Amino acid sequence: MIGLNCLEPGQVQKVHDHADQDKFYYVIEGEGRFTVGDEVT
């Protein structure tokens, strides 16, 4: 399955998981923060 998410500046997604799936983010402009387990990058 492939999906596309377009986020506006300042928009956030709630922390969630996909038990049997991987998720990739490609940031075209600006920056983002990602939480993986207890680590925020």
Q: How many other C-beta atoms can be found within 10 angstroms of the C-beta atom of residue 38?
A: 5
What is the per-residue pLDDT across 3-34, written as a single tens digit (0 to 9) for each? 888 999 899 988 888 888 888 888 889 988 88
7 contacts 13 by C-beta, under 8 angstroms? yes
DSSP at 25: -
Query: What is the model's pTM?
Result: 0.54
Q: Return the domain boundaries, the chain.
A: 1-41
Give residue for tokens 């075209």. Answer: 28
What is the Cα gyration radius of the chain?
A: 11
Q: Is residue 2's pLDDT more than 80?
A: yes
